[in-house]
Structure 1
Amino acid sequence: MSTKMFVDNAKVMSKGQITIPKDVRKVLGVDPGDKVTFIVEGNVVRVVNAASYAMQVLQSQMLGTAESEGILSEEDVADFVTELRSEA
């Protein structure tokens, strides 16, 4: 699907379940067995790929950590990894 915006519908079943439409699953990058996260802001609900969302949250929480530890370049990262491996 090449468009950036589209509308799709799903029917809510008696137990509150829905089937995520195929085109929406494709956009979310979810397959059978994957999880989705519901983000509720007022009366607006966003559905996102749970793994992608978890990574975004982690990245935002870690923002600035490398700099505060003095890791400023790829060489610093390589040195840090080497140091960690030698401790193991």
Structure 2
Amino acid sequence: MAATMTTEFVNDAKVMSKGQVTIPKNVREALGIDVGDRVTFIVDGNEIRMMNSAVYALKRFQKQMKGEAKKAGFMSEDDIAEWITKARREDNAQ
């Protein structure tokens, strides 16, 4: 999973003829990007944020699911653990 960035830094890269850019090593490390990973670009006006695509997808999922646990009656992590244990027992009983 991506490392949490605690410091701000600036780095630049040259755009090649086909629009390709090499992501600097310190940026890849800060974002937890490895060979074969995908990146997501979020454009906001004239500013762009780049994220590890897996992290971006998880953040979107978390945003979509916000409040759903409470609606389902889960008020604590213990409630969730109890539900998981019960579901596994039911699955194993079948």
Q: TM class by shorter-chain length?
A: 0.7 to 0.9
Distance verdict in 2 for CA 1:78–1:5, change over 3 Å: closer
Per-residue deviation, residues 9-47 of structure 1 (Å, max 9, x unmatched) = 111111111100011111111111111100001111111
Partner of 1:32: 35
Partner of 2:12: 9
Structure 1 outlier segments of 4+, above 6 Å = none
Q: How do 1:1-80 and structure 2 match up within 5 A?
A: 4-80=7-83
Which letter maps to 1:13? M
What fraction of aligned residue pairs are identical, expressed as a percent?
Answer: 53
Unaligned runs of 5+ in 2: none
- Structure with bigger RCO (C-alpha 8 Å, 6+ apart): 2
Moved more, 54-63 or 75-84: 75-84
Any idea what SS the aligned residue of 1:15 has? coil
CA distance in 2 between counterparts of 1:43 and 1:37 reads 16
Unaligned runs of 5+ in 1: none
Number of aligned positions between the proteins = 87
CA distance in 1 between counterparts of 2:74 and 2:59 reads 20
Calculate the TM-score normalised by the size of structure 2. Answer: 0.82
What RMSD over aligned residues (CA atoms) do the two structures have, in Å?
Answer: 1.9
CA distance in 1 between counterparts of 2:81 and 2:30 reads 35
